[in-house]
């Protein structure tokens, strides 16, 4: 058995290792043991999921693991966005939260994400401890795994919460700035046939917006299929057709946002970050005047923040690493170009709906269309190619790959850059190149991708 956790929990094809009911059951046991309270205090673990057909199977296995390990209750909140699980875990004063979702991946994939009782994701160290409990039977109270189970004299029970959407919606409404009104704003929501399909249209309508919603009929297999944050064609068409002020696309579990302006232009995470950072700065809500983004962010974001006199800190790829830098720097805003954005003054994790609310606040405050607000950042030409690979050796260990990356970087000089990294959740090597001109950038990216395919390709 190999390593379970990637950059965002455990992820893979459902019913194939590591996303099997057997592993899910052991995850449930391990989480229950790790977060189990002592004495007479009751232990509860919250479980939520997106709309994938495999969600019920994995939920049942996780619940069985939690209850068999002696936690007092497994609290099932049903289909709900990932950030809602983080909030409800805090709201209920539960000891941990578990999300069953593979985010923006196709329906046949699934995943498991873990939250602590305070609504923050586990650290690398804490994930390693859970992983060791599952794979090596280490860290259980009474030694080996089977012996530890004997300590669970009374199994836990299952509790179900049917108004989790309403609880979370109430929280989100309280985050809206009192001086911003959404009345008269016409928006289109693409809910990706995923976890936001119920809560998002109702919430924005209650906030006063005129809402048109698409991709709100999940069938277990259509999550993210030609819709959502990864596929915006239908959203663009609907925005133009209805004359909407903006369109918002969420991913399958609702922690990402990609926007579309009134002219049908795509506004990705970096430009949303720039717009929201400027807005929060003007409102004196950008603590320490600092924004965190990853090394994958477009060079244009750094240039825009510099012009706005906002400090820019870079992190490794992954929202947990963005969060680490935010906590260490005292920043309240950070994110990724993928649309995963964190507003730490209001929530403990990335939230697509909250990001859309903040962007709408900026539109209301500035009294400007989204197409005008997006001009705050000039996007440098950027090309990203994903190469399927058989293995993931250190890139520096391959001379041909090393040489082509250095050659491209030398050719671009200070006018561009190349960034090559493996996906943390898939057998993919991501090649990203930025440059002064799109054709040259595309050619440079393809050169690197061709060499990687020749050396490591599946």
Which domains are delineated in the chain?
A: 5-162 (3.40.120.10), 167-376 (3.40.120.10), 382-456 (3.30.310.50)
Per the listing, tokens 């060499």 go with: 451
315 is catalytic: no
pLDDT at 293: 97
Residue 442 to residues 171, 385, 405, Cα–Cα distance (Å): 44, 9, 14
* 106 CB burial (10 A radius; 0-12, 13-18, 19+): middle
Helix (H, G, I), strand (E, B) or coil at 307: helix
DSSP 44: E
In the set 103, 229, 297, 364, the catalytic residue is 103
The pair of three-digit structure tokens given for residue 445, joined into one six-digit string: 């990216």
Residue 137: predicted pLDDT: 77
**C-alpha to C-alpha distance for 145 and 116, rounded to whole angstroms:** 22
Per-residue pLDDT of the chain (458 residues; tens, 9 = 90+): 458 998 789 999 999 999 999 999 999 999 999 998 765 678 999 999 999 999 999 999 999 999 998 899 999 999 999 999 999 999 999 999 999 999 999 999 999 999 999 999 998 899 999 999 999 876 665 554 554 554 556 789 999 999 999 999 999 999 999 888 899 899 999 999 999 999 999 999 999 999 999 999 999 999 999 999 999 999 999 999 999 999 999 999 999 999 999 999 999 999 999 999 999 999 999 999 999 999 989 999 999 999 999 999 999 988 889 999 999 999 999 999 999 999 999 999 999 999 999 999 999 999 999 999 999 999 999 899 999 999 999 998 999 999 999 999 999 998 889 999 998 778 899 999 999 899 999 999 999 999 999 999 87
- State residue 147's pLDDT score: 43
- Terminal-residue alpha carbon distance, the chain: 21
Separation of alpha carbons 140 and 124, rounded Å: 19
pLDDT at 181: 82
Query: Which of 267, 205, 196 is closest to 235 using CA atoms?
Result: 267
Statement: the pTM of the whole predicted model exceeds 0.85: yes
User: Could you count the other beta carbons within 10 Å of the beta carbon of residue 399?
Assistant: 9
Distance of alpha carbon 200 from alpha carbon 192, whole angstroms: 11
The per-residue pLDDT for 198 is 97
- pLDDT for position 317: 87
Q: Which residues contact 218 (CB under 8 A, 6 or more apart)?
A: 51, 79, 193, 194, 197
- Please tell me the predicted confidence (pLDDT) of residue 40: 63
């Amino acid at each position: 058995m190999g390593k379970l956790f990637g950059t965002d929990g455990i992820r893979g094809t459902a019913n194939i290792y590591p996303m099997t009911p057997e592993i899910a059951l052991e995850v449930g046991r391990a989480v229950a043991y790790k977060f189990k309270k002592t004495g007479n205090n009751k232990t509860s673990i919250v479980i939520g999921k997106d709309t994938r057909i495999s969600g019920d199977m994995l939920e049942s296995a996780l619940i069985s693991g939690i209850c068999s390990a002696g936690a007092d209750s497994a609290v099932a909140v049903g289909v709900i966005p990932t950030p809602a699980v983080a909030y409800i875990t805090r709201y209920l004063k539960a000891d941990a939260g578990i999300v069953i979702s593979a985010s923006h991946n196709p329906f046949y994939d699934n995943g498991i994400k873990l939250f602590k009782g305070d609504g923050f994701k586990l650290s690398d160290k804490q994930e390693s401890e859970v992983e060791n409990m599952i794979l090596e039977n280490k860290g259980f109270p009474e030694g080996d795994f089977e012996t530890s189970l004997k300590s669970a004299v009374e199994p836990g029970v299952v509790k179900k919460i049917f108004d989790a959407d309403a609880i979370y919606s109430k929280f989100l409404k309280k985050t809206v700035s009192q001086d911003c009104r959404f009345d008269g704003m016409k928006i289109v929501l693409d809910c990706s046939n995923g976890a936001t399909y119920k809560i998002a249209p109702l919430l924005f309508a209650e906030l006063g917006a005129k809402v048109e919603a698409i991709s709100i009929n999940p069938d277990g297999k259509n999550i993210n299929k030609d819709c959502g944050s990864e596929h915006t064609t239908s959203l663009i068409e609907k925005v133009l057709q209805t004359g909407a002020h903006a369109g918002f696309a969420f991913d399958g579990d609702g922690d990402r946002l990609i926007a579309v302006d009134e002219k049908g232009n795509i506004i990705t995470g970096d430009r949303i970050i720039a717009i929201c950072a400027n807005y929060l700065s003007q409102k004196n809500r950008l603590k320490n005047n600092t924004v965190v983004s990853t090394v994958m962010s477009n060079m244009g974001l750094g240039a825009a923040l510099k012009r706005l006199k906002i400090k820019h800190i870079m992190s490794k790829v992954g929202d947990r690493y963005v969060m680490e830098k935010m906590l260490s720097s005292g920043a309240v805003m950070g994110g990724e170009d993928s649309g995963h954005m964190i507003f730490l003054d209001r929530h403990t994790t990335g939230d697509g709906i909250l990001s859309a609310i903040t962007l709408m606040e900026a539109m209301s405050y500035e009294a400007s269309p989204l197409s005008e607000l997006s001009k705050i950042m000039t996007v440098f030409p950027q090309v990203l190619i994903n190469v399927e690979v058989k293995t993931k050796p250190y890139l520096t260990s391959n001379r041909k790959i090393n040489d082509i990356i250095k050659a491209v970087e030398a050719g671009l000089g200070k006018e561009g850059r190349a960034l090559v990294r493996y996906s943390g959740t898939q057998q993919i090597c991501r090649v990203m190149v930025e440059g002064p001109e799109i054709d040259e950038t595309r050619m440079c990216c393809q050169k690197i991708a061709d060499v990687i395919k020749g050396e490591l390709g599946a």
